[in-house]
């Protein structure tokens, strides 16, 4: 019986993973690079005192400002429609960039999501409004931060700190960020694009592993 269970798992898991990634409309294509070498947040303070960086991680990045009470709906939409599906991937992270003024609210903000989300996967960093603006502007998007360092748009940054998105979106032309207020945009466009970039890296890893095996023979 144990042998059958093991064989079943070995057979089913690859098929499940394939169907999951293949469900993306642009399955196994590369998600376009829109901006290269965005500014990293490794110099920012973090809520856990550990260094947070875009390097070597696939990051969903949010600039959620100083009034955390007002963006609970945005966070809920993003977490339930996108993030909970991908927390199991070790190279995936959710980075929330906040001004220092938001620090007193952070513990309560995170606590309210613990029952519905794996908040241990959240990476929260703090900077001055000037530092945050510098990072945001390095993305080179048409979007803007408000006076509280807030934007409703969230972004996909790859392991090389490049901004990914769509260069031929049917609605906007170039799609730099995804509106966290818009459930349809998160469920359709952003979910699809996260699947594409994860599939891209997994295919690259498989190719690298195959090449290593060939070289070792």
Summarize pLDDT for 50-101 with one digit per residue, the tens.
999 999 999 999 999 999 999 999 999 999 999 999 999 989 999 999 999 9
**Rounded average pLDDT over 204-217:** 56
Q: Is the dihedral of CA 49, 54, 57, 58 positive or negative?
A: positive
Residue 23, pLDDT above cutoff 90:
no
Which of 14-28, 37-51, 186-200 is least confident? 14-28
Q: What is the pLDDT of residues 150-174, one digit of tens each?
A: 999 999 999 999 999 999 999 989 9
Per-residue pLDDT, 120: 86
Tell whether 146 is covered by a domain.
Answer: yes
Mean pLDDT of 194-215: 72
Distance CA 70, CA 134 (A): 24
Rounded distance between C-alpha atoms, residue 7 and residue 35, angstroms: 44
pLDDT at residue 49 in the model = 84
Rounded Cα distance, 42 and 109, in Å: 23
Q: Do the domain assignments include residue 96?
A: yes
Using N-to-C axis directions, what is the helix angle for 191-216 and 2-22, rounded to 10°?
Answer: 120
Q: What CATH number is attached to the domain comprising 182?
A: 3.40.30.10
pLDDT above 70 covers a percentage of the chain that reads: 81
In-domain check, residue 7: no
Q: Does 5 fall in a domain? A: no
Q: Cα separation of 72 and 70, whole Å?
A: 6
Does residue 195 fall inside a structural domain? Answer: yes
Quick one: CA torsion of 128, 57, 68, 151, rounded to 10 degrees? 70
Helix (H, G, I), strand (E, B), or coil: what is residue 10? helix
| Residue 1 lies inside a defined structural domain of this protein | no
Q: How many domains would you assign to the chain?
A: 1
Predicted TM-score (pTM) of the model is 0.82
85 belongs to a structural domain: yes
Residue 65 inside a domain? The answer is yes
Domain, as residue range, for 191 = 29-216
What are residue 77's phi and psi, to 5 degrees?
-55, -50
């Amino acid at each position: 019986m144990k042998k059958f269970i093991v064989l079943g798992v070995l057979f089913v898991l690859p098929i499940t993973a394939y169907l999951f990634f293949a469900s993306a409309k642009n399955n196994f294509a590369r998600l376009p690079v829109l901006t290269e070498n965005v500014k990293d947040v490794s110099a920012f303070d973090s809520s856990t005192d550990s260094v947070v960086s875009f390097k070597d991680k696939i990051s969903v990045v949010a600039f959620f400002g100083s009034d955390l009470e007002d963006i609970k709906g945005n966070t809920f939409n993003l977490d339930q429609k996108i993030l909970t599906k991908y927390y199991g991937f070790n190279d995936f992270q959710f980075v929330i960039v906040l001004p220092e003024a938001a620090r007193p609210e952070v513990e309560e903000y995170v606590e309210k999501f613990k029952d519905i989300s794996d908040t241990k996967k959240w990476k929260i960093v703090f900077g001055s409004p000037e530092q945050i603006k510098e990072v945001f502007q390095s993305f080179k998007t048409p979007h803007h931060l408000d006076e509280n360092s807030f934007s409703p748009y969230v972004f996909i940054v790859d392991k090389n700190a490049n901004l990914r998105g769509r260069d031929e979106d049917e609605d906007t032309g170039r799609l730099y960020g995804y509106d966290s207020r818009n459930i349809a945009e998160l469920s359709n466009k952003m979910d699809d694009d996260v699947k594409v970039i994860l599939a891209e890296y997994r295919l690259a890893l498989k190719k690298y592993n195959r090449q290593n095996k060939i070289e070792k023979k």
